[in-house]
């Protein structure tokens, strides 16, 4: 089953359960200026959950384009290293606005996976929030999932696991306990079931998160009950496609094959498993769709995140030996793959190509030179840390975003001297201030990763508070 068919099956299934099919919203959230990018299906419905907006329907289903490459929820560093993370992905979701709650949400998900898609039940594992006996009982008693495949997450496992099954939009906003469904890709792949220390491996891959929206967290940390308990679910279509197509990595699914082979042809490198090729295939999707949604490469905010992703892709191209601008040439195969589901992409194709090519030409002027500076610095190093002055020089003179230098460092098992970089940056800021150039606030460029918080998971203290609240 190809990705396009899967998307349609999902939407049709939920339409048959009384859900209104709603189009994906923009990657630039229209209703939330504090949010960097749309990174979950619920973003366009945030105000509906809060009871501040009313729709003509109380059940909806979407396939939402998402980007997780900045803000608290940042998967940029994972791309190319895990089988399951992208900067851009599509999230399939079903939503209940004060209509059905836990039991139907779980029932629908189970029916879709095991009856419509006919996934073997024995391959599926579930997690529930530690305190959520109701969800636990629905899974074990009503769906008949054996209890050894249901894990309660949140009890005394430390911050990392404790907060994982309590989903929150960010420091404020709708939130609630969740239950997640994992697929076991088989023992030939390293990794352990959810809740174990080996869970970060890629054997058990999380495919679907069902969130039971019950609270609104306000600025001072109080949790108020929402007007009506609601449901928000999200399932990455690429992960589900991998399962359905019997492959392990998302990069092996139909949609990525075209992008990878086109990239390989451009690089004259036939190895489709090359991690740089995967990074490029991933990045063309986020970059193209961000431009479609009106973001252009720049030195601040969203535009700087886009610039960072483009330059990262170009550097990986350079690593593969690409000589001429190549990145924009991947827009055509992307349109071939996704233009039908996203007509706005097909329509904006010329603008997207132009913006990418322009950025490629601009960075080409400094990339090679910068790489030489970096190679020399590395050759002259005694330890395993690239000094802050070099990182700053690359950033300031050669247009290397810090995370790009970090990406190169990671490939070679090296670290960056971040403190040294900060010092060099502050010195530059001082000089600029002394010279009266108030416009050049370098801090703007760096702060971008902290720009917004979106459903980052809480600290241990927060989790304790949430747990206490949930017990009430
Ligand atoms: P993970 O633990 O694997 O990073 P997550 O818990 O951060 O995933 P959620 O916030 O629960 O993900 O998002 C809902 C679903 O969206 C996930 O179950 C997964 O299928 C998909 N998803 C999340 N992040 C990514 C990503 N970076 N690339 C592709 N799919 C993703
Ligand atoms: Mg994640
Ligand atoms: Mg997770
Ligand atoms: Mg999750």
- pLDDT digits 0-9 by tens, 440-450: 333 333 333 33
106 lines ligand 1 (CB under 6 A): no
The pTM score is 0.89
Ligand 1 atom showing the smallest separation from residue 73 Cα: 7
**pLDDT at residue 68 tops 90:** yes
What is the three-class DSSP state of 48?
A: helix
Of residues 465 and 394, more confidently modeled: 394
Rounded CA-CA distance 201/82 in Å is: 8
| Integer Cα distance of 405 and 368 in angstroms | 13
Q: Residue 236 C-alpha to ligand 1 middle, in angstroms?
A: 6
Nearest ligand to the CA atom of 455: 1
Q: How confident is the model at residue 324 (pLDDT cuts 50, 70, 90)?
A: confident
**Cα–chain-centroid distance for residue 27?**
12
Task: Mean pLDDT check: name the lowest of 30-34, 108-112, 143-147, 301-305.
Answer: 30-34
Which CA distances in Å does 423 have to 134, 168, 392, 418, 419?
53, 35, 9, 9, 6
Residues, Cβ < 5 Å to ion ligand 4: 209
C-beta of 65 in contact with ligand 1 (< 6 A): no
Burial of 395 per CB tally in 10 Å (0-12, 13-18, 19+): buried
Mean pLDDT on 335-350: 95
User: pLDDT digits over 361-418, tens only?
Assistant: 999 989 999 999 999 999 999 999 999 999 999 999 999 999 999 999 999 999 999 9
User: Which element (helix H / strand E) includes 243?
Assistant: helix 237-244
The secondary structure element, H or E, covering residue 305 is helix 301-319
For ligand 1, mutation pick of 10, 91, 178 (most atoms within 8 Å of CB): 91
The residue nearest atom 27 of ligand 1, judged by CA position, is: 85
Q: How far is the CA of 254 from the centre of ligand 1 (A)?
A: 20
Task: Quickly state the pLDDT bin for 169 (edges 50, 70, 90).
Answer: low
What mean pLDDT is predicted for residues 125-143? 96
Report the complex ipTM.
0.99
pLDDT confidence bin for 239, thresholds 50/70/90: very high
CA of 114 to the centre of ligand 4 (A): 20
Ligand with an atom nearest the CA of residue 77: 1
* DSSP letter assigned to residue 115: I
pLDDT confidence tier of residue 170, bands split at 50, 70 and 90: low
Lowest mean pLDDT among 269-273, 349-353, 365-369: 269-273
The closest alpha carbon to 400, from 379, 384, 413, 416, belongs to: 416
Report percent pLDDT > 70 for the chain. 89
**Contact indicator for 178, 129 with CB cutoff of 8 Å:** yes
């Amino acid at each position: 089953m190809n990705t396009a068919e899967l998307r349609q099956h999902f939407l049709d299934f939920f339409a048959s359960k009384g859900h209104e099919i709603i189009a994906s919203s923009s990657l630039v959230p229209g209703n939330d200026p504090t949010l960097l990018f749309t990174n979950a299906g619920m973003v366009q419905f945030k105000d509906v959950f809060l009871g501040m907006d009313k729709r003509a329907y109380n059940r909806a289903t979407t396939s939402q384009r998402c980007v997780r490459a900045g803000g608290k929820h940042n998967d940029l560093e994972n791309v190319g290293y895990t089988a399951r993370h992208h900067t851009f992905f599509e999230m399939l979701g079903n939503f209940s606005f004060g209509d059905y709650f836990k039991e139907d949400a779980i029932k629908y998900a189970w029916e879709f996976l095991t009856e419509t898609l006919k996934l073997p039940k024995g391959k599926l594992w579930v997690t529930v929030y530690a305190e959520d006996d109701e969800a636990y009982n629905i899974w074990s008693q009503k769906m008949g999932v054996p209890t050894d495949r249901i894990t309660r997450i949140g009890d005394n496992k430390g911050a990392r696991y404790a907060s994982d099954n309590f989903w929150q939009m960010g420091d404020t906003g709708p939130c609630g306990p969740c239950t997640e469904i994992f697929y076991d890709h088989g023992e030939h792949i390293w990794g352990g079931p959810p809740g174990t220390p080996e869970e970060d491996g890629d054997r058990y891959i999380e495919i679907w998160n069902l969130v039971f929206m019950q609270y609104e967290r306000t600025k001072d940390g109080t949790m108020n009950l929402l007007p009506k308990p609601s449901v928000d679910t999200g399932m990455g279509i690429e992960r589900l496609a991998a399962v359905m197509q019997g492959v392990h990595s998302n990069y092996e699914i139909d949609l990525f094959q075209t992008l990878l082979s086109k990239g390989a042809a451009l690089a004259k490198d036939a190895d489709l498993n090359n991690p740089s090729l995967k990074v490029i295939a991933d990045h063309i999707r986020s970059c193209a769709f961000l431009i479609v949604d009106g973001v252009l490469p720049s030195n601040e905010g969203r535009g700087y995140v886009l610039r960072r992703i483009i330059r990262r892709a170009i550097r990986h191209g350079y690593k593969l030996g690409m000589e001429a601008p190549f990145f924009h040439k991947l827009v055509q195969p992307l349109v071939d793959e996704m233009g039908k589901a996203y007509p706005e992409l097909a329509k904006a194709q010329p603008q997207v190509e132009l913006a990418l090519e322009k950025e490629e030409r601009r960075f080409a002027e400094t990339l090679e030179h910068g790489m030489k500076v970096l190679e020399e610095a590395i050759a002259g190093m005694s330890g395993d840390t690239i000094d802050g002055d070099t990182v700053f020089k690359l950033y300031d003179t050669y247009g290397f975003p810090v995370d790009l230098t970090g990406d190169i460092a990671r490939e070679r098992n090296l670290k960056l001297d971040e403190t040294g970089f900060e010092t060099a940056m502050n010195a530059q800021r001082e000089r600029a201030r002394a010279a009266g150039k108030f416009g050049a606030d370098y801090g703007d460029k760096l702060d971008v990763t902290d720009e917004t918080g979106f459903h980052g998971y809480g600290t241990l203290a927060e989790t304790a508070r949430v747990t206490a609240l949930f017990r009430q």
